[in-house]
Amino acid sequence: MMEGTSYNLRSRPCTPSNTQGKPGVVGLDNIGNSCYFNAVMQCLCSTMPFVEDLLSQETRRELAKYCRIAQVFVQLLERMWQGSSPSCSPVQVMAALPSIFPQFGSYTQQDAQELLLHLLDALHEDLKKMHLSRKQPGKNQSRSSKTESTIVSDLFEGQLNYLTSFLHCGHEARNNQTFTILSLPIPNDNKKCSIQDCLSLFFEETVLTGAEQSDCSDCGRRREATVQTYLNKPPEILILHLKRFGCKGRKQVKLSANVSFSMELDITPFLSSSVRRRSSYHLYAVVIHRGNLDMGHYTALCYNSVLETWHWFDDSLVREVHGSVVQSPDAYVLFYSCKPF
Rounded Cα gap, residues 140 and 133, in angstroms: 10
Contact 180, 113 (CB under 8 A): no
The one catalytic residue among 118, 131, 171, 297: 297
Looking from the CA of 33 toward its CB, the CA atoms found within 13 Å total: 11
Rounded Cα gap, residues 232 and 179, in angstroms: 11
CA nearest to 214, candidates 271, 178, 163: 163
Question: Following DSSP, what letter does each residue of 164-178 receive, concatenated?
Answer: EEETTT--EEEEEEE
Contact 82, 9 (CB under 8 A): no
For CA atoms 158, 213, 205, 253, give the dihedral sign.
positive
Rounded Cα gap, residues 59 and 48, in angstroms: 15
Active site residue 193: no
CA nearest to 52, candidates 3, 9, 2: 9
Looking from the CA of 13 toward its CB, the CA atoms found within 13 Å total: 2
Active site residue 35: yes
The one catalytic residue among 35, 43, 198, 302: 35
Residues recognised as catalytic: 35, 297
